[in-house]
A and B are shown apart, each in its own frame.
Chain A
Amino acid sequence: MMKPKEQARRKYGMPLLVHKNRVNPELEKELLAKIEQLEKEYLWISANEKSLKRTHLDKYIAVKNNQVMFESYDFEALLKVIIASKENVDSFAVKRVTKDTPCLLL
């Protein structure tokens, strides 16, 4: 018999905290793996900035497995294409390729 909290997690996919700041170990493993994968994708984008500027200038790109899987000038259109392809939106590194290094004032 599953505990109510475990039932809720399975039903709603809730990140169940096992302690004040600690995550359920099973979920922790899964989320850490996702972060590691995305970190690699963003590093790949940084490493290939020059070639991406040549081929995808001014576009939003969605990168997975070191490949540009989807691209669009419009972010919402890109989002729709990803959703239509039944891929997980969160599994892509998304970035807008601009000519110059963006100057931020945060």
Chain B
Amino acid sequence: MTVSLSNALRKTHLASFFRSKRCLLQIIADLDENNQAYLLGFVYCSQLREARQVRFYVDTGSTVTTLLDIDVVRLGLKWQGLEQTKCDTAAGVIYPYILPRVTVFLKNIVDSKVILNAYPLKTIHLIPPEDPTKIVPIQYEFCFSLLGMDVLEKFSDLKFNFKEKKMYLIT
């Protein structure tokens, strides 16, 4: 796996960028049909018995990493009793719940070696389904969550390669 990754990197013109900058390539995210970047990671907090898989969209417009309705339900997170905060969004003001002490795990590539890095965060936000008591099935719109600036700010550079459908987060 490491070898094939190195070979793939050697073929890209981004490789010359990395070499010239002498930087470590950190995270490679795939681009979807809208060219929006997503990556797979894990989340762990005291409510969970083990690290759980989450699909994150890279969202520079999100200040805080946020788990959206489907992931909140899928992970079985309890939001009742958690503090709420105010957030301004393009669709208006919302009041997400604050989940404390969360660790996000992401696949990193350091010197061609694939590792799993932990990003401990003081808090993340939860946006649960609007009305979980509704009898009719709730139409969940988002099969993903948002990787916000609290994680992205740990990197120093962000590059898109639309031809290869990849996004690179670099330290």
B-binding residues in A (CB < 8 A):
12-15, 17, 20-23, 27-28, 31-32, 34-36, 38-39, 42-43, 46, 49, 60, 73-77, 79, 89-90, 93-96, 101-106
Within 8 Å CB of A74, what residues of B?
A: 137
Q: Which residues of B have CB within 8 Å of A31?
A: 42, 51, 105, 116
B94-119 to A contact mask, C-beta < 8 Å, 1/0? 00000000010101000000111111
22 sampled A-B residue pairs with Cβ under 8 A: A14-B44, A14-B50, A15-B118, A20-B118, A21-B119, A27-B51, A31-B42, A32-B116, A35-B41, A39-B30, A73-B137, A77-B137, A79-B73, A90-B53, A94-B74, A94-B143, A95-B143, A96-B141, A96-B143, A104-B34, A106-B36, A106-B57
A95 to B70, CA, bound (A): 10
Is B51 in contact with A22, judged by CB distance below 8 angstroms? Answer: no
Cβ–Cβ contact B137 & A21, under 8 A: no
| CB contact between B74 and one of A12, A39, A77, A89 (< 8 Å): that residue | A89
Chain A neighbourhood of B117, CB < 8 A: 21-23
Interface 1/0s, chain B 120-136, versus A by CB < 8 A?
10000000000000000
CB distance from B77 to the nearest CB of A (A): 13
Q: Kindly state the interface size class of chain B when it binds its partner.
A: 35 or more
Expressed in whole angstroms, the minimum distance between the Cβ of A36 and any Cβ of chain B is 8
Neighbouring A residues of B36 by C-beta, 8 Å: 104, 106
Ranked nearest first, the 10 interchain pairs of A and B with the lowest CB-CB distance are: A13-B50, A74-B137, A90-B53, A28-B116, A15-B51, A75-B140, A106-B59, A21-B118, A35-B40, A23-B116
- Nearest neighbor of B115 in chain A, beta-carbon distance: A28
In whole angstroms, how far apart are the Cα atoms of A34 and B52 in the complex? 10
Residues on A with beta carbons closer than 8 Å to the beta carbon of B52: 90
Contact of A94 with B70 at beta-carbon distance under 8 Å, contacts A23-B105, A46-B33, A101-B34 already known: yes
Contact B146 A22 (CB under 8 A): no
**Is the beta-carbon distance between A106 and B62 smaller than 8 angstroms?**
yes
Given contacts A42-B40, A102-B34, A106-B36, 16 further A-B contacts (CB under 8 A): A12-B50, A13-B51, A15-B44, A15-B51, A21-B118, A22-B117, A23-B116, A23-B118, A38-B40, A75-B137, A77-B137, A94-B74, A101-B33, A103-B34, A104-B34, A106-B59
Contact between chains at A38 and B53 (CB < 8 Å): yes
